[in-house]
Structure 1
Amino acid sequence: MNSSATGSAWRALAISRREQRYQAEGEKLRLEAAIDEQATYIAILRELLPKNVYDWVALNAVTRLVIISSRQANMRANHILFAEHLRQVFAAYTQLDAVFCGIDGLNGITSSLYSPKTDSTVESFRHFNNYTLPFSFKQTSEAWWQITNLNQWIKEGDGYAKLA
């Protein structure tokens, strides 16, 4: 194997590992946000619980339902995760111009890549047609909204419309 092939293989591996690390770091941040929200939820429940066991009898039915209902309590955590995902979409959208700069000049260009067989690889031929599709932020957000069925949550009245 020549040094340029070895270098490109290491470069591809490094890029792949870097992307995996970015994904893991993003997931870690989302999980930390969820953990913080659950800790807040637990603290709120502790405040609602009576200090003495005897005080439990004095709690009214409404307070008991609030303490027992996990759906109501976990909606706040879901809202935080949803808002974080929206923030990431908006942040990525601001970088689209940099990503797609100069693509208009490439519209309709066809490129091919031939990889000859080496010791442990398979001979391959890749053919790409590069096209750009016109879109606006409104069209993109509406398409993603439909794809992910998030509009169903609004119909259920869970408050996601305020976040969007």
Structure 2
Amino acid sequence: MSKIDKSVRRQYRTKVSEDFPEKIQFGPWEFRKKSSMRYGENPGYPAAFYQEVGARGPNMATLEVLQEGTKGLSYINVADMDLGQRLNRKLTQIFKNKKICVLIKHEMPAGVALADDGVMAFTRAWGCDPLSNFGSVDIFNYRVEADLARVII
């Protein structure tokens, strides 16, 4: 490996210091920093997660997973959740009476399926690409019950 390659690799892995404001104003919208993220689009890139002040109802910023966990979320994790949620919502509008499971990995759908049964929807989605789906963000338009949780684990 050349010295230049090693230098670039070392620089890539060096953590950039975070310098994000506690609040941001965009016209009439105000956002407050909810948390720092593990990293941005790539390791070593800083990132922060903001929540709109006064936002009501369930949204990505109120999800419990964003408030807990030992490892912390990265920008890619949140982008995967957003993409999965949007795709699942669209499919739910089209297939109103079906259980839909969307698996996202690195901002790409890695498995998408629908079925009358929640376990079957997940099993079909996982079967699209079992290797890529390891560590995916899994989005459901239905409640995850114990039988499905056992299959996922």
Larger RCO: Structure 1 or Structure 2 (Cα < 8 Å, ≥ 6 residues apart)?
Answer: 1
Give me the TM-score of the superposition, normalised by structure 2.
Answer: 0.27
Question: Quick check: which one's strand share is greater?
Answer: 2
TM-score (norm 1): 0.26
Find the structure with the greater CA-based Rg: 1
